[in-house]
Amino acid sequence: MEKKYLIINLGSVSKRYAIYNGKEEQLSEHFEKDEMDLVDFENTCEKFIEQTKEESIAGIGLRVVASGSYFREDKIIDDEYLKKLKKVKDRAPLHLSPVIDEIEKLKKLLPSIPMIGVSDSAFHSNLPRHSSIYNIPQDDAKSGDIYKFGYHGIAIQSALRKIQEEEGSIPARIIVAHLGGGASVTAVKDGKSFDTSMGATPLEGLPMSTRVGNIDAGALIELAKEKNMNLDQLNEYLNTKCGLLGISGKTGHIKELFDLKDSGDENAKLALEVFVYNIKKYIGAYTAVLGGLDLLIFSGTISERSSSMREMILDGLQINDIKVIKVNELEEIALKTLNILE
């Protein structure tokens, strides 16, 4: 009889839970932050486990978005792992605060069950050196562990797995635009990560729902001075007050931005234009460094649900092969969990 596993994917605005019987999904549930009372959203772990209390769980697999070389591999979550997570919490506060809370809840609810931290950066662990370092003294980079780690790796691996299953092989030059509350563009060469828009933290790259994306480092210094912010305040500001929300002044949600744009809101229109423009820039740049493009993959909630967004991105681009793929991160987390525990 196959063992059963609790598989968890916590995003910045959503939570997904599933019970896997070996490699087969048996039960799953999806929770959206915007569709629930905040207290209920924070207690989804207890709710799901209560629903499945009759299940005999052999292990837990949990997606972990964490900055640092230590988190480039899938690992058993023990006291050392949790301690290191807490140490880097401020590098990815939108992801790590809820993940740490979830781990501590699970340790109380299912204290004897082994838990695996499935790395969202593992896919990018072999980035070429020229695309993984920053322009700072390398001794400082080494001592501070400041490199481009990249994220959304689990989703990208799921997309590539689907291409492999459908086509029998993976094209040599692929770009994956994974667009959701967090968004990134990744260049994939011969099945491996070649470059990606997110960096040492999930703040870098595209403007996102509330995250700033790329910004001049000097501008950050001036911004902190102007608003009299300390580093913690600046970190919260860049993670929660910027991006599409910051530009529009009203919302960071794509559907709401389209609705506002249609009613004549110029700031919403500008936010959408900035988002699309930056995605196009990355697609163009990555096409150049890949030496051409065989396939563009759209994944993530925005990619799946908004044909208007896809049309805006593709307008003016000459790309022959385009696929919209509904990735299954839970399945990917389950496979990685089984790989360690079985």
| pLDDT score recorded for residue 279 | 98
Q: Where are the beta strands (DSSP E) in the chain?
A: 4-10, 14-21, 24-32, 57-64, 75-76, 115-119, 173-179, 183-189, 192-196, 295-299, 322-324
Q: What are phi and psi of 257, to 5 degrees?
A: -65, -40
> Is the Cβ–Cβ distance between 58 and 111 less than 8 Å?
no
Whether residue 218 has pLDDT greater than 80: yes
Residues in Cβ contact with 118 at an 8 Å cutoff, skipping those fewer than 6 apart = 61, 62, 63, 64, 74, 154, 332, 333, 336, 337
Residue 1: pLDDT band (50, 70, 90) is: low
Residue 342: pLDDT band (50, 70, 90) is: confident
> Is the Cβ–Cβ distance between 70 and 117 less than 8 Å?
no
Q: Is residue 195 part of a domain?
A: yes
Q: Which residue has the tokens 């880097």?
A: 88
CA distances from 19 to 23, 28, 111, 316 (A): 10, 6, 18, 43
> Is the Cβ–Cβ distance between 331 and 25 less than 8 Å?
yes
Q: Is residue 307 part of a domain?
A: yes
Whether residue 13 has pLDDT greater than 80: no
pLDDT digit string (tens) for 258-275? 999 999 999 999 999 999
Q: Is residue 209 part of a domain?
A: yes
Supply the Cα-derived Rg of the chain in whole angstroms: 20
Q: Is residue 224 part of a domain?
A: yes
Q: Is residue 100 part of a domain?
A: no
pLDDT digit string (tens) for 288-336? 999 999 999 999 999 999 999 999 999 999 998 999 999 999 999 999 9
Q: Is residue 178 part of a domain?
A: yes
**Is the pTM here over 0.85, yes or no?**
yes
Whether residue 11 has pLDDT greater than 80: no
Largest CA distance in the chain: 63
Report the interhelical angle of 93-109 vs 231-240 (nearest 10°).
Answer: 90
**Residue 312: which CATH number?**
3.30.420.40
**What's the mean per-residue pLDDT of the chain?**
94
Q: Please, what sign has the CA dihedral across residues 15, 333, 148, 186?
A: negative
Q: Is residue 301 part of a domain?
A: yes
Q: Please, what sign has the CA dihedral across residues 180, 185, 190, 194?
A: negative
Q: Is residue 215 part of a domain?
A: yes
| Total count of domains within the chain | 1
| pLDDT score recorded for residue 55 | 66
Whether residue 196 has pLDDT greater than 70: yes
- Residue 90 annotated as catalytic: no
Q: Which of 90, 120, 216, 232 is catalytic?
A: 120
Domain that holds residue 252: 170-324
Whether residue 163 has pLDDT greater than 70: yes
Whether residue 83 has pLDDT greater than 80: yes
Beta bridge partners of 64: 119
Q: Is 22 left (phi over 0), alpha (psi -120 to 50) or beta?
A: left
